[in-house]
Structure 1
Amino acid sequence: MQVFYRYLLYRVAAKTDLSRFPHRQAGYASVLFLAIFAAIGLAVFSLYDSGVVATERVRLQNTADNVAYSTATMITRDMNVIAITNRAMVANQIAIGQVVALASWTNMIHEFTGNLETIGDWIQWIPYVGPIIEKLTEVMHKGTTVLRNAIKTGGGPFILAQDQLITLLAGLQRVNHEATLASGISLYNEAIKLNDPDVQASPLVNAYNFGKFIQAYRGSTHYFERRQIRNESLTAQRFAEFGNVVNDSRDRMMANRGYKVGPRIPVPIGCDGPITGRIWAEKYGGTDFTVTKNNREYQWSWTSLDTFSFWHKYRRGTFCHKTRTREFSPLGWGAAHALDKELRSDRYTYGDRRGVAEKAFPHNGEWKAVNYNNDNNRQAWSNAWRNNSAASGVYRPTWHQGESKGDIDYNLRKTEGLRTFLDFKADTKTDIGPEFTVLLKKDESKMPTRKTLDGWNTKADRSDKYKIEEKGGMPDQQLFALASAVPIFSRPDEVKSRSNKPWMIKWSRQDKLREFGNLYNPFWQTRLQKSDDNLIKMLIGLGVIS
């Protein structure tokens, strides 16, 4: 085939009279350029407009993402503030409980050293040793008396300060929540303006979405007030949960001050041998955030009880077939409390909670019991009533120590108890808060396309053949962007290697349980997410977007 083409070219060249072209010709490139100039111009304008539209589309989507994220973050921040203030109120309640626990413990130590001083007075007639023991016990009792009086004197003002701080935190929570809801629309508009002032929000769609967002958030939370407990079971449940969170936040010194003192010493009691009995000392005590019902209202108070007694164990019976273990000599006892101001008396009846579970609502059937503690069988004040004889001593003054009835009131200060607080309405286990969706649009007149530039520059006169927007172009001369954001609860869960350092903060739960979204721990954060497909279909169907 190539040979054939060469032959044809040869024949044509042989018959051509080149004498008719005396000079070499030029200008073929110019003619070719003129031929394709229109195509090049159209391509340049098309590439420019495509780049502008692509840039504006990305910018508009970023603006929508930022607006959705910022608006949802407003709610996320409020949820974290609620969690922080709730946790701060818990922490201040714990501070009150620690003072009550310390007062109860020092009262017990004071009674213990007073009893030792009495024993010292009895044995001071023993030569050499007696006077020394008597003097030592006297010094110990005077020291514990000073300590007890100091805590009783300073404990009241400290509890008052903490109680007032709790009131301040409750007020701060309410003010911040209402201010957040009120400033939502202004923050939304400000976010749009700062990101791109040329962007327009769809009034109808965004008014609906914003109203739905605020309504969903307002509807998911509720102010729980004590006066509503007797009429609303949900309010009773939330207050019981708050009280249990307070109890579960106690340190070891508050929750359980029980221990056995020394080894079991053989003693000559019992029926099956000279030294088969055993004697030892047991200490029990704890501080509880207790709830009582009085005059159809509920009160939360800090109560504390400490007991210290000798115990013995021995065999008895006809054939020594029975073993008896019992408390036989109380050594010390002490109590203290900071009662709710709704309780008129300064005296608390500790016997009412004898044998009662540590966390129990006062009346069965009013609300289901909630107990987050692993030791669900532990009784009030960490089984302080196990030393029954010692616990009974809190009701009577120790006359030989010069005590009066005023010494057994044990009330350090009246408190407000639990305050009004914000929490979720529903018991649904979820990690996701209310979703916020924003729809933004931008007119072509706000974009530097060729058509817009021609409108700005009246001297420019572009031929119709170079107007690429005449065919195709931007639908309705507008761009649209849709974005959604939502608050999500996510508690950090560090790997074990990061938890070995003592100075590192350990955010993960020690019990390794799965924690869902709540308003006690501030682990809420904002995330963008895919918009609802049903919403997109609805907007397309209504002709809002195309």
Structure 2
Amino acid sequence: MPMDTPSILRAPRGARRYGRGQALILGLVFLMVLCVGAILLFNTGQTVTKKIQLTNSADAAAYSVAVQQARTWNFAAYMNRGRVANEVAIAQMVSMYSWLNQTNDSTITLWKVLRWGQAIPYVGAAFKAAVQIFKAIDQGMRVARRAFHVAASAGIPILDGFNQVFADASRLMIEAAGGAEAGMVIQDVVEANSPKARVSPASWVLLSSQYVFAKDKFLQAHNVRAGKRSRGGDRYRNVVMESRDEFSRDRSDELNLFLFGWEAKGGTDMVDYNRWAALDVMDGEVFFGVFKGAFGNGGAQALPSGTKNFYPGIRSGRNNGSGWYSDYDRRTYAAYNGIGQRRGRKAQRDPNVRAANGQRRGAYFRGYHGLSDYHDVADRSGHRYGREPEGEDAGPTFTVEVELDNADLRTAHRVGLGAGRMELKEQTQKNRMAAMSSAQIYFNRPNSLFPRVIRGKTDRHRESGSLFSPYWQVRLVETPLAARTALGIGGVVAP
């Protein structure tokens, strides 16, 4: 055999027989690992799907219950705004009648004074014509006053009655917001998102405490009582006084002509929480100061039935009754737009045009009850509730924990996949799966989109949260540590 011919090595025939079947064993091992991996993947997919479903259920439940609370607060804000609007309307009626009285009284004074000018040569005819004009105005004013008094006497009790209804509706909504209806909302939302899930017992206890905090700590019920000054009453009156229209706030006017001139002044104030009082006066001079003094007086007052006929200024309040204090301007305004005490007393003695046979009691509108109880954001030391749209004090937080029993998980063990060594049993704490979520109510009225307008002027200040403005919103937030701790302890001790 040539030297360069390679030799072929052959295995013995018996050795090939002993090597058969090794690949089959290795394949079975790989197949077993593959089956375990498939079962594990199936369990993981089912668990993750249920966990996501539980998380979505908790998010939806927490958000829904917070939305219910926010809507309740916004409803209360609309009711309070409606009450303020009605108070302003009552103030307008009182202001209008007071102004009509003063105008009628001034008209009578003018035509009586102008009669003396009829004897002046060359201009007597003009004075005679002026007298006739003012007499006609006098007659028209008397008719207008009578008609307006009838309308205001009916309108003021109606508006006051609506305010009582608004107050009751607001109080009932706030009191009922955390009751059985809230529990039904949570149950319905959880059932709709995860039919077999339920709210944990510890979560119900935590929600109850959060409801109590929202109603009794974050909000505050103010009792407004006439004759008893309170911080809540001053707050409400301040809002109403700031909301007055310009006619109710300031009826100052002046006119200077050739032979005569006058200056009118008037204003309307809320006194003692349960009465609107208005005064109007006119002072002037005729014939270059020959006749100088008070031309006319007028007044009106809305007050409860059975109240004595008196005409006080703002005697209760700050600065010994010198006026009312504006929290917005941080200053005190004089009563009745600055009508002095001497001039005011003179107007109070004749508020209903005695010269036209008007009686003093005719200047009063009965059936008005004044400000009633209301809710607002609490002002407590150490907290800035609702002042900023961020942080824990921005608004109350509601936390919901949703749980699901292991028996309701569709894992391989539950559907019968795998047995013996292939069986994979799920292990969870207390044989349940849980997810928690929190939602917070907060107040935000962006000044760039909704600029504040106070007495016709726009400012750049951020509006603080209150139940006089319906801008309460809801957002999902990270669950506070205190809530996590409470649920953790509750989950351990719960049966």
The normalised TM-score by structure 1 is 0.74
Q: Does the Cα contact within 8 Å between 1:395 and 1:408 map onto a contact in 2?
A: no
Q: Do the aligned residues in 2 keep the contact of 1:248 with 1:372 (CA within 8 Å)?
A: no
How far residue 403 of structure 1 moved from its aligned partner, in angstroms, is 2.2
Residue identity matched to 1:360: G
Moved more, 332-341 or 59-68: 332-341
Question: For residue 320 of structure 1, what is the aligned residue in structure 2?
Answer: none
- What letter corresponds to residue 438 of structure 1 in structure 2? V
Mapped contact 1:308–1:390 kept (Cα < 8 A): no
> Which residue of the partner structure matches residue 317 of structure 1?
none
Which residue does the alignment assign to 2:418? Answer: 462
Matches within 5 A, 1:28-67: 36-67=30-61
Distance (Å, rounded) in 2 between the aligned partners of 1:509 and 1:282 = 26
Structure 1 counterpart of 2:385, one-letter code = T
Distance 1:462 1:246, change over 3 A: same
Query: 2-side partners of 1:505 and 1:399: how far apart?
Result: 38
Question: 2:298 corresponds to which residue?
Answer: 334
Q: What residue in structure 1 maps to residue 270 of structure 2?
A: 289
Tell me, yes or no, if the aligned pair for 2:281 and 2:347 is still in contact at 8 Å. Answer: no
Task: Provide closer, same or farther for how the CA distance between residues 87 and 389 of structure 1 changes in structure 2, counting only shifts above 3 A.
Answer: closer
- 2:149 & 2:408 partners in 1: Cα distance? 73
Cα displacement (A) at 1:243 = 1.2
The 2-side partners of 1:538 and 1:15 are apart by 79
2:375 to 419, 422, 447: 422
Find the counterpart in structure 1 of residue 391 from structure 2: none
Distance change in 2, residues 1:391/1:150 (3 Å): farther
Change in 2 beyond 3 A, CA 1:202/1:538: same
Q: 3-state DSSP class of the match of 2:445?
A: coil
5+ residue gaps, structure 1, are: 1-9, 21-26, 268-278, 292-298, 315-324, 455-460
Distance 1:58 1:90, change over 3 A: same
Question: Residue 186 of structure 1 is aligned with which of 184, 187, 192?
Answer: 184
1:228-307 equivalent positions in 2, closer than 5 A: 230=228, 236-262=230-256, 281-291=262-272, 300-307=274-281
Q: Please point out which of 144, 147, 150 is paired with 1:147.
A: 144
- Structure 2 unpaired stretches of 5+: 15-20, 387-393
Instruction: Rate the CA distance shift 1:505–1:284 in 2: closer, same or farther, 3 A.
Output: closer
- Contact (CA 8 Å) 2:203, 2:401: kept in 1 or not? yes
> How high is the TM-score relative to the length of structure 2?
0.81
Please state how far the C-alpha of 1:76 moved relative to its aligned partner. Answer: 2.2
The answer for the alignment partner of 2:477 in structure 1 is 529
Cα distance in 2, alignment partners of residues 118 and 542 from structure 1: 87
Q: Give the match for residue 310 of structure 1.
A: 284
SS in 2 for 1:15: coil
Give identity over the alignment, percent. 22
Once the 2 structures are TM-superposed, how far is the Cα of residue 348 of structure 1 from its aligned partner?
Answer: 1.7
> Quick check: 2:117–2:124 contact (8 Å CA) kept in 1?
no
> In 1, are the aligned partners of 2:253 and 2:263 still within 8 Å (CA)?
yes
The one-letter code sitting in structure 2 at the alignment partner of 1:200 is R
For residues 505 and 252 of structure 1, the distance between their equivalents in structure 2, rounded to whole angstroms, comes to 14
3-state SS in 1 of match to 2:492: coil
Equivalent residue for 1:271? none
- Asked whether the equivalents of residues 297 and 350 of structure 2 are also in contact (C-alpha less than 8 Å), the reply is no
Corresponding residue number in structure 1 for 2:199:
201
Residue 375 of structure 1, CA deviation: 7.5
- Would you say the 8 A contact 2:190–2:197 is kept in 1? yes
What residue in structure 2 maps to residue 294 of structure 1?
none
RMSD: 4.0
The yes-or-no answer on 1:380 pairing with 2:328 is: no
Q: How many residues align?
A: 466
Alignment counterpart, residue 115 of structure 1, candidates 106, 109, 120: 109
1:66 Cα deviation after fit:
1.4
What amino acid is aligned across from residue 283 of structure 2 in structure 1? S
Q: Using the alignment, how far apart are the partners of 1:398 and 1:170 within structure 2? A: 33
Deviates more, 1:49-58 or 1:35-44: 35-44
